[in-house]
Structure 1
Amino acid sequence: MIAAPVTGTVTPLTEVPDPVFAKALVGPGAAIDPGDAATLTVTAPVSGTLTSLKPHAFVISHRPDQGVLVHLGIDTVHLKGAGFTLRAEAGQQVEAGDEIIVWDLAAAREAEKSLVVPVAVLDADVDDLTLAEAGPIDAGDTLIRVG
C-alpha cells in the first residue's frame, strides 16, 4: 500500500501539467491537488530508505526493485528551496507517515507554479497498480495499491 503523502484531491496523473508525469515516463501513479492549503506536511507514503531528497521531491525505496517518487508541485525546482523545510535526511530509514518535508505554498503560488503533487511508482507496470478514485483524500489514506 502506498499512502497519500498530503491531504487534497486525487487527480489522474494524465492531468498533471508536465509531460514527464502525464505520460508516466517516470512510472505510473496518481496526483494530489492540495487546493487552498497554505502549508503542507508531506509524509512518507511507504516505509523504506529515503534514497533521494531534494527540497521539492524525494524517492523512498521500499522494495529492492521499486521506489516511490513524490514531487511537490511542477517546476518548483526553480524556487531553489524557497518554502520547503526538510525534516529528514537522504539515506535514512523512514516509516510510512513520517514527516519528510514541510511546504509553505506561498512562494510557489507567487511564482505561479502548479501545486499538484504527483506520486509515481518507479519501475512499476500500470497493470499492477490500483489507484484511488478521483476525489478527496487525507494524508495517510491509501492512494495506490500494488499487486
Structure 2
Amino acid sequence: MTTVTAPLAGRAIGLPAVPDPVFSGAMVGPGTAIDPVREESEAVAPVDGVIVSLHPHAYVVVDAEGRGVLTHLGIDTVQLGGEGFELLVAKGDTVTRGQAVVRWNPAAVEEAGKSPVCPVVALEATAEALTDLREAGEVAIGDTLFGWQ
C-alpha cells in the first residue's frame, strides 16, 4: 500500500468542493484537495519516487510501485504562465516524501483571480482503491491524506 501525505498545509476539503468540474468529478482520478494557507510556501513530494511530470503549477511523482500522484497547485493556474512559481527540482529527479518541489504563494494566486485550492489525485486509480480519505479538517505538511491499496 502507498501512503499519500499532504504536500502543503491548509484545510482538507475533498475533491467535490474543488471549483473545477474535471477535478470535482474525479475525472483525473480519486483523491482529495487542500485549501492552502495563504502564505509563500513550498509544495512537497507526497510520496517517495520520481518526478515524471513537472510544470510550475503541477507535478506528478511516481512511487516504486508505479503509482502516480498528481499535486495541482491551484485551479486554472496554468494561465499564470509560471509567474509566482519557482521549480526546486527537475523532471526525472528522485525525490523523498516531504522534499520541496515548487515554491509558490497561494495568496498571490488568489489575487490573480484564480483559486488556490490544490487537488491531490491518485492517477489511474479507482475510488475503491483509496482508504482513510481525508476530506475535512486542518492538515500539516506530511499528514496522511489517503492510503492507496
**TM-score of the superposed pair, with normalisation by structure 2:** 0.93
Q: Which residue of 2 aligns with 1:82?
A: 83
Q: Is the CA contact 1:85–1:103 (under 8 Å) kept in the aligned structure 2? A: yes
SS of alignment partner, residue 77 of structure 1: helix
What is the CA deviation profile of residues 28-72 of structure 1, one whole-angstrom value per residue up to 9, with x for unaligned ones?
00000014x221210000011100000000001114542000000
Distance in 2 between residues matched to 1:92 and 1:12, nearest whole Å: 29
Aligned residues: 146
Distance in 1 between residues matched to 2:130 and 2:121, nearest whole Å: 11
SS of alignment partner, residue 13 of structure 2: strand
Tell me the C-alpha RMSD between the 2 structures.
Answer: 1.2
Distance in 1 between residues matched to 2:135 and 2:58, nearest whole Å: 24
SS of alignment partner, residue 83 of structure 2: coil
Q: Which runs of structure 2 are paired with 1:1-147 in the superposition (5 Å)?
A: 1-35=3-37, 37-130=38-131, 131-147=133-149
Q: CA deviation at 1:12?
A: 1.2
Distance in 2 between residues matched to 1:17 and 1:63, nearest whole Å: 32
* Structure showing the higher strand proportion among its residues: 1
Query: Unpaired runs of 5+ in structure 1?
Result: none
Q: CA deviation at 1:23?
A: 0.7
Query: What is the percent sequence identity of the aligned residues?
Result: 47
Query: Unpaired runs of 5+ in structure 2?
Result: none
**TM-score of the superposed pair, with normalisation by structure 1:** 0.95
Q: Is the CA contact 1:3–1:140 (under 8 Å) kept in the aligned structure 2? A: yes
